[in-house]
Chain A
Amino acid sequence: MSTGQERIGVYICHCGSNIAGIVDVAEVSRWAGEALASQGVVISRDDKFMCASSGQELIEKDIAELGLNRVVVAACSPHMHEKTFRGACARAGLNPYLCELVSIREHVSWVHTDKAAATAKAKAVVAGGVFRVKEHAPLEPLRVPIHPATLVVGGGIAGISTALEIADAGFPVHLVERQPSIGGHMAQFDKTFPTLDCSACILTPKMVEAGTHKNITLHTWSEVTDVKGYVGNFTVTIKEKARYIIYDLCTGCGICQEKCPAKVQDLEFEAGLGYRKVAYMPFPQAVPKVPVIDRDNCTYFSKGTCKACEKFCPTNAIDFTQEDKEVVVEVGNIVLATGFELFDARRIEQYGYGRLPNVFTSLEFERMSNAAGPTSGHIVLRDGVTEPKAVGIVHCVGSRDRNYNNYCSAICCMQSLKFAHLVKEHTDATVYNFYIDIRAAGKAFDEFYQRVLEEGTVFVRGRVAEVTDALRPDEADQAGRIIVQVEDTLAGQQRRIPLDMVILSAGLEPPADAKETGRLFGISCSSDGWVIERHPKLDPVATMTDGVFAAGCALGPRDIPSSVTNGAAAAARILGRIQQKEMALEPVRATVDEARCSGCRICNDLCPYNAIIFHEDRMVTEVNPALCQGCGTCVAACPAGAISGTGFSDAQILSQIEGLLMLTASGEPRKAVPA
């Protein structure tokens, strides 16, 4: 509340010529000192770079020597330097929340060209800041304890890396994975680029480590169903789906899988290219090594017969009466590592996937090329037997395409080069790559591209128009093959190339339930569905929600090293928090003045964080400051004005409005309206 005792210092930053080039900063400073003196401004300065130590020292000096108790800085956006100037005030002994930073750069000098108008607006913006800061009160940040446990959602390479980093540092991790085993997509791959390391060979040791680590609790075949709380104090409900197998009794012998008579097409691990049993472990190196019974396809569940698994299980671990279990855990931080899904190539009808037998997706090919896959590593046509003599690999399927996804999926070029190499290694086939650009930017990536070039792969630069079995009359000798019709932009002509097999490098997409996941954890996804990071350059693994981080492809397409790095970064942040044991939260909160609360309860249903509690005995509402995130909706709703929002109080905002409007568009004082 303004007491009339405010002594305000106003500082106008030039920001080099960023602001001074358009706004007459000297004039704004002069005007502020004069016209706003009645509001309490005792000193007004302009300086080249307020955020530099010299600029900050100006503030600190004035606070000490002139007894300033309020500071207004007109410079860049508060998102840039609010902390900087609050820090300067704090060092000089002034409560940092008595400082207000208003933007005359992003909002004035960078967006307007008329210097006179920009200067007038800058004055108005400064006035708004001055009027507002009068109403500021000193505040103390809220300190919350940080629970040492962490939740990692998603057991792919990103999730596993994150979990291991935190667990190795000595803190507990709950790793939740919706498939029966951890490993994610990396477990499906054959070799990884550019080193051609066997994917499973480098992944499985990590999987085993995660599975046996004393600090990691695995929740596989599980999903998070509810998240409550705030940073440092999340209460998470995990639904562990019924496996129909008693975890503690199972030895992973695999007899149930062997004896199970029912087979279905394996749409998950084998990407549809093979079969699995109904009682199954997704792959031999699964962690945990405990199978799952697929209820939807199980003979017992649909007809009441069979039960072969139960008959043969040596440890009586089969339990058809098992039910889903709910587990509630307390964690301090959450990392989302939910990964990606492959673009559905069936959507591009002209590429024939699903209709033409010998058109395959990248994941199908990974399984085919994998020695442990359905063809034991043989590159063959859909008949399972014939070796192709010519193979085409199509880049950018569903990526860089206005009709499907505009973005580049980052890994497909390298993956396509890898496929070219693998085909040449396993067969005598001629290989064609149909590309738009070759994106080989990482370490040893371009060298790999050159290697593939030297191996004799044919590169055709152009988008594939059609993959078809409709042979033209002059192609009669190509019976049984598929034709790729493509524009060869470098040769300047259309080509029809007969091939035996086509591999579509399908793009990456966020998981189908990405938006629901966002809502569950209180974070935002972009319009494409990827998790939005706090800052794309400078804070790439944090989200806007304190305590929730993201790693790996959940943030957008990226390769394995990037995913691992993301995981390590998130882990480092979290470990720092855990080690500090508590965290300071911005004191932007709502509080109810019980004396003014009439118990109308209008505010009660407005809080998405369940921070509003109604006390039946006293008929008043209370806001839990720890749960409150400071959105202010209840503050605005209260008809009695009984709820105040610190940092964004009614008085502060109304004052700011008054200040902003005290000048007309041309900078002349508007005649004040009698109060």
Chain B
Amino acid sequence: MSATATSTTAPAAATGFEPVILGFTCNWCSYRASDLAGTARMKYPPNIRLVRLMCSGRLDPAFVLTAFANGADGVMVSGCWPGECHYIEQNIKALRRFLLLRRVVESMGIEPRRLQLVWASAAEGQRFATEITRIVEEVRELGPLGWGRGAEQAPEVAVEAAVAAAEAAESGEGAPAASPEAPPEAQPAEVPA
């Protein structure tokens, strides 16, 4: 039974929270799409930082988990459209991994909307910018990721705490929601131990 992921904050607008999203791009399509967005001067929020891989098939799930553990509030995985992969069909393998990974991430207490998949061909600069904008807003709504984000605790401890909180919420004990945070700096989330 997956623990219901809970958002830990008040509406983002009130707190001025700026999410950090890590984006994995493939060298042939989505990285070029991001280049094209730049050449065409499309504008999108600065909350995303890109990692270049040769292919979306290179995406090791450990990369995504490391990103979350190191403070990313959201992760975007992108690659060529199915049927157009520069390496023929590796984006299909990436898709399989992504779907499974999302389930895993969800069962760890992370909202599934924090991990998103975007296909973008090298010609779709405009679309790439639009998708990033959308994802940034969605993650902003979800708020900062509760654990590993400058917390004093090690990720394992934070995960346990999150699971415990979720269980408590499920059983209706009305565990207090963690207090919303104003500056997204190092402040431990208030979760019952």
Q: Which residues of A contact B (CB under 8 A)?
A: 77-79, 103, 105-108, 110-114, 117-118, 120-121, 124-125, 128, 515, 519, 522, 524-527, 532, 544-545, 588, 606, 608-609, 629-633, 635-637, 645, 647-648, 650, 653-654, 656-658, 660-661, 664-666, 668, 670-671, 673-674
A668 and B70 contact, CB distance less than 8 A: no
| Complex Cα gap A123–B89 (Å) | 35
Contact of A107 among B22, B34, B185 (CB under 8 A): B34
Q: Could you give 7 example pairs across A and B, Cβ below 8 Å?
A: A107-B35, A112-B45, A526-B123, A632-B53, A633-B94, A673-B151, A673-B154
Which B144-162 residues have a C-beta within 8 angstroms of A? 148-152, 154-155
Looking at the complex, which of B3-11, B57-65, B107-115, B167-175 is the stretch in contact with chain A? B57-65
Contact of B83 among A124, A515, A545 (CB under 8 A): A515
Q: Which residues of B contact A (CB under 8 A)?
A: 18-20, 22, 28, 31-32, 34-35, 37-39, 41-47, 49-55, 57-63, 66-67, 69-72, 80, 83-84, 86-90, 93-94, 97, 121-123, 129, 148-152, 154-155, 184-186
Contacts of B69 in A (CB 8 A): 673
Contact of B90 among A103, A631, A654, A670 (CB under 8 A): A631
B35 and A121 contact, CB distance less than 8 A: no
A648 and B63 contact, CB distance less than 8 A: no
Contact of A664 among B43, B60, B80, B184 (CB under 8 A): B184
A107 and B38 contact, CB distance less than 8 A: yes
Residue of A nearest to B16 (CB): A666
A665 and B38 contact, CB distance less than 8 A: no
Given the interface pairs A111-B129, A632-B54, the reply to whether A661 lies near B20 with Cβ below 8 Å is yes
Contact of A111 among B28, B41, B67 (CB under 8 A): B41
Contacts of B53 in A (CB 8 A): 632, 648, 653
B46 and A112 contact, CB distance less than 8 A: yes
Residue of B nearest to A675 (CB): B154
Given the interface pairs A113-B43, A631-B54, A648-B53, the reply to whether A666 lies near B89 with Cβ below 8 Å is no
Contacts of A106 in B (CB 8 A): 34-35, 37-39
Contact of B87 among A114, A633, A673 (CB under 8 A): A633
Contacts of B84 in A (CB 8 A): 524-525
Contacts of B122 in A (CB 8 A): 532
Contact of B51 among A111, A522, A637, A657 (CB under 8 A): A657
Contacts of A668 in B (CB 8 A): 185
Contacts of A661 in B (CB 8 A): 20, 22, 49, 67, 70-72
A79 and B42 contact, CB distance less than 8 A: no
Contacts of A648 in B (CB 8 A): 53-54, 58
Contacts of A660 in B (CB 8 A): 22, 49, 51
Name 8 extra pairs, CB < 8 A, besides A118-B46, A608-B87, A632-B53.
Answer: A78-B52, A110-B39, A117-B18, A519-B88, A608-B89, A631-B86, A645-B54, A665-B19
A636 and B35 contact, CB distance less than 8 A: no
| Complex Cα gap A124–B52 (Å) | 15
Given the interface pairs A631-B57, A657-B63, A661-B70, the reply to whether A666 lies near B18 with Cβ below 8 Å is yes
B38 and A111 contact, CB distance less than 8 A: yes
A121 and B54 contact, CB distance less than 8 A: no
Contacts of A656 in B (CB 8 A): 51
| Complex Cα gap A110–B40 (Å) | 8
Contacts of B150 in A (CB 8 A): 670-671, 673
| Complex Cα gap A193–B42 (Å) | 41
Contacts of B93 in A (CB 8 A): 606, 633, 637
B87 and A631 contact, CB distance less than 8 A: yes
| Complex Cα gap A33–B72 (Å) | 25
Q: 8 closest A-B pairs (Cβ-Cβ)?
A: A106-B38, A632-B58, A633-B57, A665-B18, A631-B87, A608-B88, A631-B55, A110-B38
Residue of B nearest to A634 (CB): B57
- What's the nearest-Cβ distance from chain B to residue A107, in Å? 6
Contact of A673 among B32, B71, B94 (CB under 8 A): B71
B32 and A79 contact, CB distance less than 8 A: yes
A664 and B20 contact, CB distance less than 8 A: yes
- What's the nearest-Cβ distance from chain A to residue B21, in Å? 9
Contacts of B34 in A (CB 8 A): 106-107
Given the interface pairs A632-B53, A660-B22, the reply to whether A110 lies near B47 with Cβ below 8 Å is no
| Complex Cα gap A657–B59 (Å) | 13
Q: Name, among B59, B122, B129, B150, the residue most crowded by chain A CB atoms within 10 Å (CB to CB).
A: B150
Contact of B59 among A120, A522, A636, A671 (CB under 8 A): A636
| Complex Cα gap A114–B46 (Å) | 8
- What's the nearest-Cβ distance from chain A to residue B86, in Å? 6
B51 and A120 contact, CB distance less than 8 A: no
B149 and A670 contact, CB distance less than 8 A: yes
| Complex Cα gap A653–B58 (Å) | 10
- What's the nearest-Cβ distance from chain A to residue B154, in Å? 6
Contact of B46 among A117, A654, A671 (CB under 8 A): A117
Residue of B nearest to A118 (CB): B46
| Complex Cα gap A113–B148 (Å) | 30
A665 and B47 contact, CB distance less than 8 A: yes
